[in-house]
């Protein structure tokens, strides 16, 4: 099976040499980590089979959040934490997409504009929900930034998961059945707020004026009790763009991968020159330290202790937290004879900086 690490090991140096004047240091670092993941460069552990006496080596992972081999174990932990924040009310998902005319600007000012995008969209949703024509209450929500389509094209957007109700004058106010807010006034509010934010950030002059005359894309939909949408979003929290299982082959300098068509839900394939594949992947590497999952309103981290009070306002009996049982790590099994292996030593890390 071809993996992203295989592609980076085989073509990474050529890619870096070809684009050495343009590639970001953060992209270079991510490529170096992915290529070194679970290799002797990372160090590891030495095991002895108790049955046949064979020596085996297990190498450490790079733990980079952009590596498809790493952090899968954290998805279950994150889901458990989100399930414990769920309220017994209907949920909604609001997805706000960056207009195509703004995407080049986003690419060149990622840290600033991703942050502004979060601030502006969250403020607009909370402002409109607080309008008495809609809910007229203070809400809580969680947002996840995603920057890719299934064909790895740059397409930044934020998914907000929102309980169907809010707090007003010490009371819980429910949303109307299957209705949160209208999408059109929300998009116009976001557009106006983002325009003002760009002026304040000194970037307004870089934006084509046509972007302020077009309707922005904002999807508002009911998502049941919230569990299904959280399971859908969870993998995007700890990986980006593509997983190794969807890379089908690397042949004659071209990468073929599969993706699920959004319309008919069937798997289709896409074949790209290897440099274009790497370029598409790397444009989704996030700025260092950027937080891609954020909480607002009564779900904000600083207000998390008040969540029990919110549940009491809804009139719920406080339930025990949902617990996803952690799978016990199975013993290391010898691939030769099936015997149990025991740890006998460690291998020092020898990976050099990129």
**DSSP codes, 53-101:** --EEEEEPP---TT-TTS-THHHHHHHHHHHTT--SS-EEEEEEE--GG
Each residue of 189-206: pLDDT tens digit? 999 999 999 999 999 999
The answer on pLDDT for 296 being more than 90 is yes
Same domain, 23 and 92: no
354 part of a folded domain: no
Distance CA 309, CA 194 (A): 34
Q: What percent of the chain stands above pLDDT 70?
A: 95
Confidence (pLDDT) at 318: 40
Cβ(59)–Cβ(348) below 8 Å: no
Same domain, 293 and 341: no
Distance CA 164, CA 177 (A): 9
Same domain, 30 and 132: no
Distance CA 192, CA 27 (A): 33
Lowest pLDDT segment from 68-77, 136-145, 309-318, 330-339: 309-318
Strand blocks (E) in 99-153: 140-148
Confidence (pLDDT) at 324: 53
Same domain, 112 and 35: no
Same domain, 335 and 310: no
Q: Which two tokens stand for residue 62?
A: 């790079």
Q: Choose between 327 and 252: higher pLDDT.
A: 252
Angle at 168 between CA 90 and CA 87, to 5 degrees: 30
189 part of a folded domain: yes
Q: Phi, psi at residue 247, to the nearest 5°?
A: -85, 115
Confidence (pLDDT) at 316: 56
Cβ(226)–Cβ(161) below 8 Å: yes
**Number of domains composing the chain:** 2
Q: Choose between 340 and 323: higher pLDDT.
A: 340
Same domain, 123 and 27: no
Distance CA 214, CA 100 (A): 11
The answer on pLDDT for 248 being more than 80 is yes
Helix, strand or coil, per DSSP, at residue 178: coil
322 part of a folded domain: no
Each residue of 125-153: pLDDT tens digit? 999 999 988 999 999 999 999 999 999 99
Average pLDDT value for residue range 56-77: 86
323 part of a folded domain: no
Strand blocks (E) in the chain: 44-49, 55-59, 91-97, 140-148, 154-163, 165-168, 171-174, 218-222, 247-251, 254-260, 267-273, 293-297, 341-347
What share of residues in the chain are helix, strand, coil (percent, to 5)?
Answer: 40, 25, 40
273 part of a folded domain: no
Q: Which residues pair with 44 in a beta bridge?
A: 59, 347
Q: What is the mean pLDDT of the chain?
A: 90
251 part of a folded domain: no
Q: Which domain holds residue 22?
A: 4-64+328-347
Same domain, 90 and 42: no
Same domain, 181 and 298: yes
76 part of a folded domain: no
Confidence (pLDDT) at 320: 47
Each residue of 90-123: pLDDT tens digit? 999 999 999 999 999 999 999 999 999 999 999 9
Same domain, 169 and 309: yes
Same domain, 28 and 95: no
Same domain, 91 and 193: yes
Each residue of 313-331: pLDDT tens digit? 887 544 445 555 555 678 8
The answer on pLDDT for 251 being more than 80 is yes
32 part of a folded domain: yes
Please, which residues have CB within 8 angstroms of residue 264's CB and are 6 or more apart in sequence?
none
Same domain, 149 and 46: no
């Amino acid at each position: 099976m071809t993996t992203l690490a295989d592609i980076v090991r085989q073509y990474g140096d050529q890619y870096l040499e070809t684009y050495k004047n343009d590639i970001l240091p953060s992209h270079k670092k991510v490529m170096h980590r992915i290529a070194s993941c679970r290799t002797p460069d990372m160090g590891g552990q030495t095991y002895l089979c108790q049955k046949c006496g064979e020596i085996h080596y297990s190498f450490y992972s790079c733990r980079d959040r952009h590596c498809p081999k790493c952090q899968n174990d954290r998805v279950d932990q994150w889901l458990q934490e989100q399930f414990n924040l769920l309220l017994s009310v209907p949920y909604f998902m609001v997805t706000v997409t960056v207009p195509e005319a703004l995407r080049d600007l986003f690419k060149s000012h990622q840290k600033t504009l991703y942050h502004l995008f979060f601030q502006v969209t969250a403020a607009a949703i909370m402002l409109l929900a607080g309008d008495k024509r809609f809910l007229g209450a203070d809400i809580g929500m969680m947002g996840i930034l995603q920057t890719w389509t299934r064909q790895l094209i740059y397409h930044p957007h934020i998914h907000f998961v929102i309980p169907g109700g809010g707090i007003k004058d010490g009371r819980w106010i429910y949303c109307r059945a299957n209705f949160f807010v209208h999408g059109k006034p929300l998009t116009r509010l976001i557009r106006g707020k983002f325009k003002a934010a760009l002026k304040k950030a000194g970037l307004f002059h870089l934006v084509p004026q046509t972007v302020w005359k077009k309707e922005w894309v904002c999807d508002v939909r009911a998502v049941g009790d919230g569990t299904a949408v959280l399971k859908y979003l969870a993998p995007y929290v700890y990986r980006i763009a593509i997983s190794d299982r969807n890379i089908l082959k690397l042949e004659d300098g071209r990468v073929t991968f599969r993706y699920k068509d959004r319309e008919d839900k069937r798997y289709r394939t896409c074949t790209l020159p290897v440099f274009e594949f790497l370029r598409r992947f790397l444009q989704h590497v996030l700025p260092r330290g950027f937080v891609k999952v954020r909480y607002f309103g009564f779900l904000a981290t600083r207000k998390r202790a008040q969540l029990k009070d919110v549940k009491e306002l809804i009139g719920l009996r406080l339930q025990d937290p949902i617990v996803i049982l952690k799978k016990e790590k199975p013993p290391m099994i010898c691939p030769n004879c099936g015997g149990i292996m025991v740890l006998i030593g460690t291998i020092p890390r020898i990976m050099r900086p990129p």
